[in-house]
Homo-oligomer: A and B are copies of this chain.
Amino acid sequence: MKARRPNSREKILAAAADVARESGPGSLSLDAVASRAGVSKGGLLYNFPTKAKLMQGLVEDYLREFEEALEAARQKDSGGESPLAAYIRLSARDCEETQPSASWIFSAIAEDPDFMTPIKTFKQQLFERLKGETPDLKSLLVCYLAIEGLRSMNLFDSDVLSQDERQLLVSSLLEIAK
């Protein structure tokens, strides 16, 4: 909304995600984030008066980017493709990045499980929306859950699939979603 000058905010958020990924979700301390962001602790507390606000910022940023990407994927290349198919493609692309990218979520959960509720309601709404747009419920269920599985693997950094297998999976899902 404001904060025209400071890209400090973004730097701090990025630093927090980095620290969580590299040093482990349990080592996300304010000191670590500040030094990683190249900012003094006072400066960090200036942007995020409390650790909870920091986490909240992480969540909000994540959700905002997700929503933007989703909307973009829907509007683009819409060559007769179903919304479900667009979601599958988007998610597959997300999970191809080797970085788990969102392991800060574990930090947030450890801090307070309630940080998950915005994410939960977001997903709930997404699913509800897809239900309204997908004729066959069975296809939706299978595809949505499989994508959820892919995301989970990415998050836990425990990808069991080879490149070929992932590609085969995605094409199978797209066929189901057709």
Contact surface of A with B, Cβ cutoff 8 Å? 24-26, 106-107, 109-113, 116, 119-120, 123-124, 127, 137-138, 141-142, 144-153, 155-158, 160-161, 165, 168-169, 172-173, 176
Partner of A25, one of B109, B127, B146, B152: B109
Provide the bound-state CA to CA distance between A144 and B144, in Å: 13
Provide the bound-state CA to CA distance between A42 and B145, in Å: 45
Provide the bound-state CA to CA distance between A107 and B142, in Å: 30
Provide the bound-state CA to CA distance between A72 and B146, in Å: 26
Tell me whether chain A's interface is mostly helix, strand or loop, or mixed. Answer: helix
A168 touches B137 (CB 8 A): yes
A24 neighbours in B (Cβ, 8 Å): 109-110, 112-113
Partner of A160, one of B26, B113, B127, B155: B127
**Shortest Cβ distance from residue A68 to the other chain B in the assembled complex, whole angstroms:** 22
Residue on B nearest A165 in the bound complex, by CB: B141
Partner of A148, one of B26, B124, B152: B152
A149 neighbours in B (Cβ, 8 Å): 144-152
